[in-house]
A and B are shown apart, each in its own frame.
Chain A
Amino acid sequence: MANYSTNEFKNGLKILVDGDPFSIVENEVVKPGKGQAFNRIKVKNLRTGKVIERTYKSGESVEAADVMELELQYLYNDGEFWHFMDTDSFEQVAAPQSAVADVEKLLKEQEMCTVTLFNGVPLTVELPNFVNLAVTDTDPGLKGDTAQGGLKPATLETGAVVRVPLFIEIGEVLKIDTRTTEYVSRVKD
């Protein structure tokens, strides 16, 4: 297993803390006048996104986290796992529900995603900032009302429900911001 010395600490470095993979977001060296120096770091848990503080004696070595980020294409869900494929090598990986929980309702087949692997298993799946998805269900629009105004719920082909303007109709393709799950615009053919 690879190790990093505290001298190599820098933002973005992936390390193991209590068995979980973390990414360093801040590294500060504190050194009293004489005596032992410490690296006081803030690390983000790559599984939960939670940021914690942690201190190491300077010079100590810390286990590296085997973490890889890949651009993979989403293929299908077999009921238990979500399958992704490397479009160059055609290698496939299966992601558990925990990895796709945040994006599951916006995940469409063929979409390219950023998949973070920890020890070879998908840990998180991130979508592009914007995806295009078709409306499968919504109340009929009010004729002629294309002005600013009210919103109504619309169900998308992946299952997500978003608030959309009143003029949106079933079958239309919408641009969705995946960070907020909000409607951005209609996609013109």
Chain B
Amino acid sequence: MENGFPTASIETLQKRALILAAIRSFFWERKVLEVETPVLSQYGTVDLHIDSFAVESGFDQIQRYLHTSPEFAMKRLLAAGSGSIYQICHCFRDGEKSRLHNHEFTMLEWYRTGFSYIELIREVDDLVRMILGPKTEYMDTECITYQVMFNTYLGINPFSATIEQLQNCASQNGINISFDSMGDDRDDWLNLLLSHVIEPQLGKGKLTFVMDYPASQAALSRISPYDPNVAERFELYLEGVEIANGFQELCDPQEQEQRFIEEQKKRIENGKMDIPYDKNFIKAINHGLPECSGVALGVDRLVMFALGLGGIEEVMPFTAYVS
């Protein structure tokens, strides 16, 4: 961009604005409240695989972090009795850049009090169909569990396969990676197989929701009351690309804090920046987070598909490379 012009065309930006307006009216009609929460916080995510930008103030020398999602602040609002809420905001993730990643991107995140994650899947389906428009008329919605997905595409059981079986499966599928570097973390192996072999085949000409992840990949979702091996989490895929990630939200404050402490330990073991987990969030959910489901959706990717474009830089005015 030698001339300083945007990476997206003005015409695309006009269509993007219409999509944002449609999202807002979707939630207006459903009486979901639009909120805005701070982008800068003295706490950050302790997720091992998400890196925050740290920002130091010249006035109080306090290090703060740009949020990687508005989750904690929005749950504080839920605990304070906000009812169902949504937010459209920029999120920041250090080191993420590719055709489908930018270190700053637009997230649509919403929470529905009293909704199960199954009910929320239906609402995500409604919203995405509305944005993609008439082309979805002949598109099916498919819901598969994580276990059925691995069995269908790779013929293995992700809950019981041994490391050796996962290694063999990777080799048979032409993945060329050093086994030493992978170690014996089952989730890393599952993610390797998922990202290399399965994901490219998901959501081909349809909306594919994957649900019921291994408990070890629960993130902030609730463990199923019916099966302790399963987390009530879902993802939406379109044409091999992840569009949204949702949870039946974990409401138990003790379990939540325990997960933070364990994740923080892993960050330190892996030589990652030591970030304090959100104490205000823990305080708030100690008062009681109402039963709810929540989902985060990548707006840039959805706009990309709605307009039939091939990369998120085509729907963003200025990507990290030119900002």
Let me know if A29 and B177 touch, CB within 8 A: no
Let me know if B177 and A32 touch, CB within 8 A: no
Residue A30, interface by CB 8 Å: yes
CB contacts (< 8 Å) of B245 on chain A: these are 33-34
CB contacts (< 8 Å) of A37 on chain B: these are 49, 96
B192 CB contact (under 8 Å) in A7, A29, A38, A53: A38
Query: Across the two chains, which residue of chain A brings its CB closest to B200?
Result: A30
Let me know if B97 and A29 touch, CB within 8 A: yes
Residue B300, interface by CB 8 Å: no
Residue B194, interface by CB 8 Å: yes
Residue A47, interface by CB 8 Å: no
A147 to B12, CA, bound (A): 57
Let me know if B195 and A32 touch, CB within 8 A: yes
Let me know if A60 and B174 touch, CB within 8 A: no
A53 to B175, CA, bound (A): 8
Query: Across the two chains, which residue of chain A brings its CB closest to B176?
Result: A54
Residue B217, interface by CB 8 Å: yes
Let me know if A29 and B101 touch, CB within 8 A: yes
Q: A35-B187, A36-B187 are in contact. Are A55 and B196 (CB under 8 A)?
A: yes
A55 to B177, CA, bound (A): 5
A30 to B101, CA, bound (A): 10
Let me know if A7 and B217 touch, CB within 8 A: no
CB contacts (< 8 Å) of A38 on chain B: these are 177, 191-192, 195-196
- Tell me the count of chain A residues lying within 8 A, CB to CB, of chain B: 21
Query: Across the two chains, which residue of chain A brings its CB closest to B51?
Result: A59
Q: A54-B176, A55-B175 are in contact. Are A40 and B196 (CB under 8 A)?
A: yes
Let me know if B101 and A31 touch, CB within 8 A: yes
A28 CB contact (under 8 Å) in B98, B174, B219: B98
- Tell me the count of chain B residues lying within 8 A, CB to CB, of chain A: 29
What is the 8 Å Cβ interface bit string for chain B, positions 174-202, against chain A (1 contact, 0 not)?
11111001100101100110111001000
CB contacts (< 8 Å) of A58 on chain B: these are 95
Let me know if B174 and A53 touch, CB within 8 A: yes
A40 to B195, CA, bound (A): 10
Cβ of A117 to closest chain B Cβ, rounded Å: 27
A31 to B93, CA, bound (A): 13
Residue B232, interface by CB 8 Å: no
A179 to B176, CA, bound (A): 31
Residue A57, interface by CB 8 Å: yes
Let me know if B191 and A35 touch, CB within 8 A: yes
> Which chain A residues (1-45) contact chain B, with CB distance < 8 Å?
7, 28-38, 40
A53 CB contact (under 8 Å) in B97, B99, B176: B176
A35 CB contact (under 8 Å) in B95, B181, B217: B217
Cβ of A177 to closest chain B Cβ, rounded Å: 34
CB contacts (< 8 Å) of A57 on chain B: these are 177, 181-182, 188
Let me know if A34 and B217 touch, CB within 8 A: yes
Cβ of A51 to closest chain B Cβ, rounded Å: 12
CB contacts (< 8 Å) of A56 on chain B: these are 177-178, 181
A52 to B176, CA, bound (A): 9
Query: Across the two chains, which residue of chain B brings its CB closest to A60?
Result: B181
Cβ of A28 to closest chain B Cβ, rounded Å: 7
Residue B47, interface by CB 8 Å: yes
Cβ of A32 to closest chain B Cβ, rounded Å: 5
Residue B242, interface by CB 8 Å: yes
Interface centre among A7, A36, A60 (most CB of B within 10 A): A36
A28 to B47, CA, bound (A): 22
CB contacts (< 8 Å) of A54 on chain B: these are 176-177
Let me know if A35 and B49 touch, CB within 8 A: yes
Residue B109, interface by CB 8 Å: no
Q: Which residues of A contact B (CB under 8 A)?
A: 7, 28-38, 40, 52-58, 60
User: Can you spell out 27 A-B residue pairs with CB atoms less than 8 angstroms apart?
Assistant: A28-B98, A29-B97, A29-B101, A30-B195, A30-B196, A31-B49, A31-B101, A32-B199, A32-B242, A33-B235, A33-B242, A34-B49, A34-B245, A35-B49, A36-B185, A36-B191, A38-B177, A38-B192, A54-B176, A55-B176, A55-B177, A55-B196, A56-B178, A56-B181, A57-B177, A57-B181, A57-B182
Which 3 pairs from chain A and chain B are nearest by CB?
A29-B98, A30-B195, A55-B177
